[in-house]
Every structure is written in structure tokens, then in C-alpha cells.
Amino acid sequence: MTTASVASAPVTAPLHGVRVLDLTRLLPGPLATRHLADLGAEIIKIEDTGAGDYAREMGPPPPGLRDADSRFFRALNRGKRALRLDLKHPLGKAVLRRLAESADVLVESFRPGVMDRLGLGYEALKAVNPRLIYCAITGYGQDGPWRDLAGHDLNYLAVSGVLERTASRDSSLPAVPSLQIGDLLGGALPAALSIVAALYGARQSGQGRLLDVAMAEVVLIHHMTPLLGEGEAAPRGREMLTGGLPWYGVYATQDGRHLAVAALEFKFWATFCATVGRPDWTGRHSEEGATLDSLRHEVAALVASQPLAYWSEVFATVDACVTPVLTPEEALALPQFQARGLGGADELGQGPAASPFVMDGVRLAATGTPPSPGQDSRAILVEAGFAIDEVDGLLAQGIL
């Protein structure tokens, strides 16, 4: 099969048979469990009996589905099952404990101590299932002076030093990234990776683990290597990979668009220079200091002499690491992405969605309409061994 082929978590998916209890909401946790669903895991999304996951209302629904959940929610939660559960009620707590007995993983994103106060923390659930992998995703971790502080992606980027570096050399105002780096790089991805590693470990040891994912510190860990190596941060926009080199930067074109030049290695720079008709620039690859600024201005002037379409055509088949800066709409229409089966996720949330996992020529992706609140409550509990009259009683009392 080609990579355009999409499989809806087949039996051969690596996490087939893994059951995950997902108590998270918004972005980091739901994306982590969405990735696990892509890889074949069964995800039981557990929401409270009140507001539930308010990502359901963050943004508009797909066209033609007036009362549907937001596209944001649907992208994160397709392929999951849904259970409503009042964890403040003794009966609701008892239900979660029984579900934990047969679960492989539990993921939560409450502030530290919340689950312990409910009697549902790691130690309590470990007592009923020693193999349970318990993943807690928070902004600042399970301990430390900031453990109880609320936060969002922007805060994690701010305190990790990343946001300050997003300002250009010409502006002191940091730019708010359009990609939630803290939530994704700091939360969803390390959570999913830690869970997969812990599952592998549990197969050998028979023991679960407590996974402590602290989003702000994960971002810092990825960001601190240059600082540790050089002793101090270079001025904004003057580091090797932030605009300090003329052959690695973004340049404005004649029509107000932008061209990304990443000819970092000498061979790419030489090809770039030859392609733009300036072979005399080739030997300047070893220059430093003020002469780099002069070269940067020369490159900027040349790029600004033509529109983006011109440069896109010139470099379309040139191996020099030069690409147009595309809008999201243009990116989805890019032939390369289309050829690999991306850009075609349907708005109704019922077809294949973008997934980063391609194995043996197949893109593994969770499919199916994202669940409405509690739509699978009865089935989930019956499968877990609850009698039908027990389930009816829980429903009647508003526990489900």
C-alpha cells in the first residue's frame, strides 16, 4: 500500500487491545489519547456530569451541523467512546475504581492533589490494579512551588524562555505562536511517548507507573541546550537558527509574501547562489560579524525584486532548501501532502483524519464520529461487568 492508504486502527495496530481511561479535556490530554487511538488503543473519554469537556464549544461546528461539537473538539476526539461520571459522588468513585481494574492506562490533567483528595489518585488505583499506568499532565508538575498554579500554553512558553525569543531583531514584542508548542511538544507528545514506554515496561515487569508530565519544564528542556552550550543566549534574531545567518532566514518578496531560505550547509548555499545568479556570494559563507549583515541586506534586496510565485518556480526542482512560506490553506493543497493522503479529513468527523503514524505503508488513524457526552455509558459499564439494573440505578441518580 502507499502512504495515502488509511487504516482505521486495525487489529494489527500496535496498541490494539489497550484500554485507556481519559479524564482530560481541552488540548494536551485529548491529543495524547487521540494519538493512542490512532495506534489502535480503545479510549474511554470520561466527562463530568456538568460542563464536561468545554472544548466542545470552542469554535464553530462543521458546516451544516448547527448543533454539533466544535471542529476543534471533533479533531481531538474522533474514534473515542464517551462516559459521563460524577466523581464527587461515592458511587461515581466506585465506578471509576471498577473500570480501573481492567484498564491499562489512566490519563488525567487535574491540578496536583485533586485525584488524591477524591480517593482516586495513583496509589489508590494502584491498589486495585498494580499494572495500571497513571499519567498526570499538568503545567508545572506534581511538586515544586508552582505546582498548584493554573496555566495555559502561552504561560508555559513565557516561563520557559521560549516566548521571549520569538521577538524578531526589529521588534521587542514577542510573537504569540499559532501552534500551541507547550501543549503539544510539552504535553501531548511526551505523555503519549511515556505511556507507550510504560506499557512496554509493564509487559516485562507486571507493574504500572506514575507518569508526571510537566508541560513548562518539557519546553524548557528542549530549549535549554543552546544556553547550556554557550553559557548565555545570543541577542534575539542573531542565533544561527533564528536569523543570525543570511543563508538561514525568511525574506520578504515583491508581493508582500515570504521565502524561507535554509541553505545552511555550504553545498546548499553554493546552489542557492548559482540559482539566483550570484555565484560571487558563495565564498562569503565563512564570513562573520558586520559583513553578515551586509550580505543579509543584499539577499533581502534580491528576494524582494520578484514575487513569491517567481521564486517558487525557480526553486521548485532545485536542491537548495528554499521553500515558499505558505498559508494553511495552501499547505493543505500542496501536492506533496496530497500525495501522502493528507488534507482530506472530512468536516463531519466520520472519515480519516490526519495522523502522523505511517507503518508498512498505511497511515493509522482513528475514525468515526466523535462521541456525544456519555453516549456509550451504558455499554461501557455493561462490558465492565455491571448488571443492567445497576446501570439503570446509576442513571436514575444522575451518576452517569
Q: Amino acid identity of 266?
A: F
Sign of the four-CA dihedral 102, 108, 112, 116: negative
Which residue, among 299, 309, 325, has the nearest Cα to 255 in the 3D structure?
A: 309
Which residue in the list 89, 152, 222, 223 is annotated as catalytic? 152
Is the separation of the CB atoms in 370 and 77 below 8 Å? yes
Cα 79 off chain centre by: 17
- Separation between Cα atoms, residue 238 and residue 236, nearest integer Å: 6
Q: In this structure, what C-alpha cell is assigned to residue 180?
A: 500551541
48 is catalytic: no
Query: What's phi and psi for 168, nearest 5 deg?
Result: -80, 175
Is the separation of the CB atoms in 92 and 86 below 8 Å? yes
Local structure of 99: helix, strand or coil:
helix
Q: Amino acid identity of 186?
A: G
Q: In this structure, what C-alpha cell is assigned to residue 271?
A: 546552489
Which residue, among 87, 97, 98, has the nearest Cα to 46 in the 3D structure?
A: 87
Based on DSSP, count helices (H) and strands (E) in the chain, helices before strands: 17, 12
89 is catalytic: no
Give bridge partners of residue 84 from the DSSP assignment: 47
Which residue in the list 38, 53, 86, 183 is annotated as catalytic? 183
Largest CA distance in the chain: 83
DSSP line for 319-355: -SSEEE---HHHHHT-HHHHHTT-S---TTS-S----
DSSP 8-state secondary structure symbol assigned to residue 24: -
Is the separation of the CB atoms in 107 and 21 below 8 Å? yes
* Active site (catalytic) residues: 152, 183
